[in-house]
Amino acid sequence: MLARIPLILAGFLILLTTHAHAIEARLPAMNALADQTSVSGLSSGAYMAAQFHIAYSEKLVGAGFVAGGPWNCASTFSFMSPLSNALTTCMDPCKYTWFICPSAFFPDGDELANLAKESGAAELIDAPANLMDDKVYIFSGQSDKTVVTKVVDSTSDFYRSIGLSNNQIIYNKSVDAGHAFITNDAEDSACNVTQTPYINNCNIPQAQKILEHIYGELNEPVAITEGDLLRFNQRAFIESDITSMDDDAYVYIPQSCKTQQCRVHVALHGCRQGVSAINTTYIEQTGYMEVADSNNIIVLYPQVKASHVNPVNPRGCWDFWGYTSNNLPPFDYAYKTAPQMQAINQMIERLISPVEDIK
């Protein structure tokens, strides 16, 4: 038994060392390209991506939305609370109306675009004029009963009303997909289902499609990634006590980005998809890292977790209706002052900082 102790101790030390290597104490400064950042997301992550794209448009070059509606959707009907709008208008306004489903029940992309212009003039968000050279990818699955296609249609309407041309927008609603991020991985769920972990095989590499539309022609994804997936202290970027954001988040850094400047893409999970719910499944199975590895793209994965009191966010969704203000006015979830968006912005700022700026 005594002879085995050194072996057991050695094994423990190896395990400890490996675990420590997998955890980055803080997000590293990477001197990333400051003018090549983009964002995408699924479901509540798509809503957050839309909010971030509009609020921080000066810093971004494009965005991707999978099963998500337009910026500030939860403000659609002023006689309803943002929470009520989020649960009905921004998901399936006609779910309980059976046979009556007028277009007036759905978000109005044109009206929300006008509101964005007013908000830009009031400096609550960056000027929408910054969006004029951006690229936008939009997707809605035909079997998605969670955020129905007619809601996602308003996202396309919003960007067209803002002034983007047909060439700048790709909107795919021709696939019989459920409420999920889609891939071309046969091990993922069937295309038309809606079930955890909400990653479906539809024979379409969606992460690649999003990044190609935003950045142009890219190299083929690698089969095996060689970069570093780092877990870092996300709390360092959170200023509010009411955010529902997790303690840690992740970033994928290709080996090439250690010696050259790279782009940054922010990938936002949907409800019940954070690491506290499904570990790193969304991070590792959506296909972003494989594309990033061969195309000099750093991928940032901010994290939200479920919370039941202060704030109430039982499904671990991103805030697109005001829970970060405890559902009380004044609501700022769609503006630059929103605490989750401020945290994401600060993470991007860290990644684009010169290496020597972070000691």
pLDDT digits (tens, 9 = 90+) for 229-268: 999 999 999 999 999 999 999 999 999 999 999 999 999 9
Query: Is position 13 within any domain?
Result: no
Among 258, 255, 269, which residue's Cα sits nearest to residue 28? 258
Is 43 a known active-site residue? yes
43, 44, 119, 189: the catalytic one is 43
Query: Is position 105 within any domain?
Result: yes
How much is the average pLDDT of 304-314?
96
CA 194 – CA 217 distance, rounded (Å): 31
pLDDT in tens, 223-233: 999 999 999 99
Position 19 scores a pLDDT of: 35
Query: Is position 97 within any domain?
Result: yes
Query: Is position 126 within any domain?
Result: yes
Neighbouring-strand partners of residue 297? 263
How much is the average pLDDT of 294-310?
97
44, 92, 179, 269: the catalytic one is 179
pLDDT in tens, 129-145: 999 999 999 999 999 99
Is 103 a known active-site residue? no
Q: Identify the domain containing residue 30 by its residue range.
A: 23-357
Number of structural domains found in the chain = 1
Query: Is position 125 within any domain?
Result: yes
92, 108, 134, 144: the catalytic one is 144
Q: What is the pTM of this model?
A: 0.92
How much is the average pLDDT of 342-346?
98
Q: Which position has the higher pLDDT, 18 or 48?
A: 48
Query: Is position 273 within any domain?
Result: yes
Band of residue 187 on the pLDDT scale cut at 50, 70, 90: very high
Query: Is position 94 within any domain?
Result: yes
Query: Is position 151 within any domain?
Result: yes
Is 143 a known active-site residue? no
pLDDT in tens, 189-201: 999 999 999 999 9
- Give 149: exposed, middle or buried? Use CB within 10 Å, 0-12, 13-18, 19+: middle
